[in-house]
Amino acid sequence: MLKCRLILFLILLLSPLTVNTLSAQCPGDDGFPYWIWSPVDVADYTSFSFAASYNAVSGWNSIQGNIAHTVFGPFDDITMFDDNSLPGGVAGRTTRFSQAGKGTCRYMLDTCGHCMSAQVTYDAYVRLNANLIRQAAAIYGLDSNLIASTVMAHEIGHAMGLSHIGSDLDSCDSVLSVMHVSVNRLIECSVFNPQIPCDSNGVYALYPFRVGDYCPCAGVSCL
Ligand SMILES: [Zn+2]
């Protein structure tokens, strides 16, 4: 009987700890704005191989089904380019813009009935520190396009609205998401793509329903 109680106690003690550790290592929600149309078109103007952005996009498409990305679309929703002036140690940075801040459709309805407000994404810029990425590739003896693809996948996650997770001190068994804050840990733990279940669940939390096709601006005010 005593033995049974001891085992139960350990299970009770360990269960919440395990759950908390896992949830703490999965990305959360960075808040508005969100995309309301898909596929989200990623335009790659970086110095890296086209395969890098194609792989990043494919990675997100393969782990979830509610928001699609493409590198073949006409919209340049996410524009990616080199920026070697990013602060030291920063491999990439994403800036999101809402419909309220940009575009001729702001505070108009689209033909599907969505209001083009601050809650709706207009576009995003992704800047990559190409010099830093190439330095990291040389240090780790890996293809710079693989590192670039990993950073691109991470930044596309930010463009969707996913937040950072983790710290430089995490062991590999707790590096469970491409949204991990440390690109060094991503490389060292061979996390080069979005992961199931952390990243897929993160997307499903932000986009619980399939993001539908583009709807043109109706020109009707929704202020
Ligand atoms: Zn980040």
pLDDT of residue 19: 42
Between the CA of 122 and the centroid of ligand 1 the distance, in Å, is 20
pLDDT at 2 over 60: no
Question: How remote is the CA of residue 143 from the centroid of ligand 1, in Å?
Answer: 21
What superfamily would CATH give domain 27-221? Answer: Collagenase (Catalytic Domain) (3.40.390.10)
Cα(15) to ligand 1 centroid in Å equals: 30
Which residue from 28, 45, 76, 62 is spatially nearest to 148, judged by alpha carbons?
Answer: 45
158 Cα: distance to centroid of ligand 1 (angstroms): 7
pTM for this model (two decimals): 0.89
Tell me whether the omega of the peptide bond preceding residue 39 falls within 30 degrees of 0, making it cis.
yes
Query: 33 C-alpha to center of ligand 1: Å?
Result: 17
User: What's residue 24's pLDDT?
Assistant: 60
Average pLDDT over the chain reads: 90
The tens digit of pLDDT for each residue in 38-57 reads: 999 999 999 999 999 999 99
3-state class of 163 per DSSP?
coil
CA of 155 to the centre of ligand 1 (A): 6
Give the residue-averaged pLDDT of 76-103. 96
12 has pLDDT over 70? no
Calculate mean pLDDT across residues 58-62.
Answer: 98
Task: Band the pLDDT of 112: cuts 50, 70, 90.
Answer: very high
Residue with tokens 């490389």, as numbered in its chain: 187
The pLDDT of residue 10 is above 60: no
Cα–ligand 1 centroid distance for 132 (angstroms): 15
Ligand 1 centroid to Cα of residue 135, in Å, is 18
Q: Which sign, positive or negative, has the C-alpha torsion 160, 44, 132, 97?
A: negative
Mean pLDDT of 23-46: 93
Domain spans in the chain, listed from the N-terminal domain onward:
27-221
The 10s digit of each residue's pLDDT in 139-170 is 999 999 999 999 999 999 999 999 999 999 99
Distance 35 CA to ligand 1 centre (A): 18
Q: What pLDDT does 3 receive? A: 43
Which two three-digit tokens encode residue 189?
């733990």
DSSP annotation of 87: P
pLDDT of residue 25: 87
Per-residue pLDDT, 15: 35
Model pLDDT, residue 169: 93
